[in-house]
A and B are shown apart, each in its own frame.
Chain A
Amino acid sequence: MTYEPSEAKIISVKKYAEDVKLFKVKTKINPLPGQFFQLSILGIGECPLASCSYNKKYADVLVKNSGSVTNTLFNLKKGDGVFIRGPYGRGYNFKEIEGKNLVLAAGGTGIAPVASLIDYIEQNRKNFGEIKILFGFKDESFILLGDRIERWKKKFDFTLCLDKYAGKLKYEVGLLPDILKKKKINSENTCGVLCGPEIMMKSATAKLNSVGIKNDKIYWNMERRMECAAGSCGRCLIQDLYTCKDGPVFRYDIIKEKLENESAK
């Protein structure tokens, strides 16, 4: 496999928060929901990212300014070129989640792959049962994809959670897993789809377990530093599993023990 990327033009840039922008990039790589690609800027480097839309014409790259590549990307404008290779990895397993009720819970820029899945669900609504969505953000100024959230609110059981919010009524206030705990969840024929910091996914998993959704019905979207995206460089190994090839979406029962082993003191 070659590590050589192709050039792709930025179609538009939208700022959502102080350190988060959405770059619409023209590309035909068409990643499936949950798959990722390597986005790079020549002279700076590559970073693995997921599209938050599902379509054949462009990738929607929701980027938090948190490293050298994203920092440079933040200075780019409409018409500028970036480089892309992909798509890579296994996204959401439709064989396992279609025909099911879904609880989708994601936080911060972790909403990106989940938003792509919601796109897919909108396009194939009859293939899914009840959809319950929870998105969590730090505060009102950090709400991402607000325009699309307004649309989803009309179509799905959608809860917007803010860690901090002084007002009332508009949002639920508190950490996402705590708000998830208050929700009534029908466990029958239901899968959980999670993306965010591991500590958030862990407590959300505990809640889903407590209502009877087992680990083999819960999907974690893992963040690791994929360098080659070909199962060669070893950077993204979670014990014997490559995040870039076997993931980044994993069934939790498959990676639970491996994650516990790796984080042991």
Chain B
Amino acid sequence: MIARVAGTEPSGAAKVPVEDRLFSLVLALVATETGLLKSEILSTVRGYAERYDASGSNANLERQFERDKDEIRDLGIPLETVESPDRPGDNQSLRYRIPKGQYELPEAVRFSPDELALLGLAAEVWREASVSADSQRALTKLRSLGIEPRDPVIGYAPRLRVRDAAFEPLRQALDRRQTVRFRYFKPGEREPRVRTVDPLAVVLHEGRWHLHARDRDVDEPRTFLLSRIVGEVQPVAGSTFDAPPPGIQDRVIAELDALRLSNVADLAVTAGSDAEVRLGKRAVDGDEDAGVIRLHYTDEAVLADELAAYGPEVRVLGPASLRQAVRDRLRLVADAHRGRSER
């Protein structure tokens, strides 16, 4: 039997801070080998025990425990549930524990001062709040090893922004292997269409974020541009899927690279223009004197947007579809800005 002690504290005792409760819970679950019953946790662990009612239902406290478990697991701490061999399926006899071997960083994973300096710079890259927070938490964990990083890499300020609203919900869906639904606006289609997909990988290629996913409606893998996802990414309740093969993200990048190499645009650029200098740096071939360059591209609509920005500095020679796409864009812009604003 577990004695109920803390619950008898005088009312008005200072509330136990959340991190104190979580810390006490982790300590208790790491220390146990056989696991603790939920009733044991709620009645003894600091932060719960003060509010435990031995004769009541403790429904609030149980919900608190469920949320705390999720939060601890979100931090990468392997909180396990063990079924009682005698009473499978009985929720009240489930035991909880954190196996020490899976909690601790493996012995082989140690970092040199140089590596830590590089990791510090890698964490600095992220401007997007949630990824940045994840990176910083990882650094905090690695600091526990007590290695002082070599002086920060000077002369660099690398930054990666994420401007697609779909990024964070998709990253969560990847982690939870959660099916999601969103509206997708494919170039050439009249309006956005609803897609239901199992997200497998999210990759940045040629400056654009792509989602690789299994499209549930056609049961085929598809790659989507995050910038063309319209509105919210919604989880499909109760629908999850198996983990994709390891390294799938590298395969997706290789596929996008192959796609890029298979697309060839021929452009005429104005001598001495911004287009000549900047597009010229990406050229794979060309005749400088004739002002003609050739470059590869992944997505025709994306390149057409970029080329439209150069206005008269660049003219598409081919392919015809790209030529028309750029022309359509310039016409759209010219028409929208003709005359005085009607408003």
Asked if chains A and B come from one complex, the reply is no
The residues of A with any CB-CB pair to B shorter than 8 Å are none
